[in-house]
């Protein structure tokens, strides 16, 4: 998948907000790309456009030689809010993926249960989301994003609201599932550690208007063990990303500060 020269302008009271300004980004089959950048730099805008959920003002997104012009049926998406339906059990929330596509759910129940088991949620398959913690709810949302075996996965700060330990556990689960399935992933975060832990390549964006400011290739084999975070090579990568972000987060000439969260 490839984004070329993406720009996005939003109308605003006294003119336009330029959210993206000439973003080029390619994701190879099976590649895991993390996007790191300060709040408001255009990460969500870029992800939304690449997933076909919004149109760019300029530039285009293609998969192979096919232009992306609408929501991608072959994609999985996951956001910071889990968006589970409270009146459906966990299993039926996962199976929603098929119902939304007008497909029968029965042939996929087994697969839904397997996935829930893989993320340690089989005991809760018949329970309702309101009975679950935030981390458990995101596990269900992860299963729902993966149940139809999407070759492409778009994730926008999916673990941003979770405590550090739960987040690490979910990073490990996602890392394993994506690597085993060979899924191409676009993962947006402002967490340096999770960006590097998961990705083959971490792309750093500049503050608005969003541009790609640089990238770091994380050459460690995937999936990675939790303690890769202590590996000197990993530490060197996160250090480099921290410096790149600090550079990008500096107040611009207008006096605007990029990072507000």
Ligand X SMILES: Nc1ncnc2c1ncn2[C@@H]1O[C@H](COP(=O)(O)OP(=O)(O)O)[C@@H](O)[C@H]1O
Residues 1-30 that bind ligand X (CB under 6 A): 10, 17, 19
Q: Does 208 engage in binding with ligand X (CB under 6 A)?
A: yes
HSE-CB at 89 with a 13 A cutoff on CA atoms is: 13
Q: List Cβ neighbours of 35 (8 Å cut-off, separation of 6 or more).
A: 25, 43, 46, 47, 186, 187, 188, 189, 195, 202, 203, 205
Strand positions, DSSP E, 30-180: 32-36, 58-63, 66-67, 75-78, 152-156
Q: Does 189 engage in binding with Mg ion (CB under 5 A)?
A: no
Q: Does 41 engage in binding with ligand X (CB under 6 A)?
A: yes
Q: Does 44 engage in binding with Mg ion (CB under 5 A)?
A: yes
Tokens coding 54: 């919004």
d(CA 207, CA 199): 21
Binding site partner of 37, from Mg ion, ligand X, none, Cβ cut-off 5-8 A by kind = ligand X
Q: Does 148 engage in binding with ligand X (CB under 6 A)?
A: no
Smallest distance from the beta carbon of 10 to Mg ion, in angstroms? 14
Smallest distance from the beta carbon of 156 to Mg ion, in angstroms? 6
Residue with smaller CB distance to ligand X, 41 or 203: 41
d(CA 24, CA 203): 11
Among 37, 56, 76, 258, binds ligand X (CB under 6 A): 37
Tokens coding 225: 């063990």
Smallest distance from the beta carbon of 182 to Mg ion, in angstroms? 27
Binding site for ligand X (CB under 6 A): 10, 17, 19, 37, 39-45, 208
Binding site for Mg ion (CB under 5 A): 44
């Amino acid at each position: 998948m490839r984004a070329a020269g993406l720009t996005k302008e939003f109308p605003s009271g006294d003119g336009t907000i330029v959210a993206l300004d000439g973003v080029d980004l390619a994701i190879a089959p099976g590649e895991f790309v993390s996007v790191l950048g300060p709040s408001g730099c255009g990460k969500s805008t870029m992800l939304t456009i690449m997933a076909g959920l919004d149109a760019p003002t300029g530039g285009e997104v293609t998969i192979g030689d096919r232009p992306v012009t609408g929501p991608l049926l072959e994609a999985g998406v996951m956001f910071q809010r889990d968006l589970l339906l409270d009146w459906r059990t966990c299993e039926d929330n996962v199976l929603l993926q098929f119902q939304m596509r007008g497909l029968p759910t029965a042939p996929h129940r087994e697969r839904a249960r397997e996935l829930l088991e893989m993320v340690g949620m089989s005991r809760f398959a018949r329970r309702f989301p309101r009975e679950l913690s935030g981390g458990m709810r995101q596990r269900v949302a992860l299963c729902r994003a993966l149940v139809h075996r999407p070759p492409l996965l778009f994730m926008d700060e999916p673990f941003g609201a979770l405590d550090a330990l739960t987040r690490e556990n979910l990073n490990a689960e996602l890392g394993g599932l994506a690597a085993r399935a060979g899924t191409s992933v676009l993962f947006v975060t402002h967490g340096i550690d999770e960006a590097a832990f998961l990705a083959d390549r971490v792309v750093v964006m500049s503050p608005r208007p969003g541009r790609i400011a640089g990238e770091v290739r994380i050459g460690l084999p995937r999936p990675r063990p939790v303690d890769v975070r202590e590996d000197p090579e990993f530490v060197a990568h996160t250090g480099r990303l921290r410096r790149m972000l600090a550079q990008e987060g500096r107040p611009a000439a207008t006096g605007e500060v990029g990072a507000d969260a």
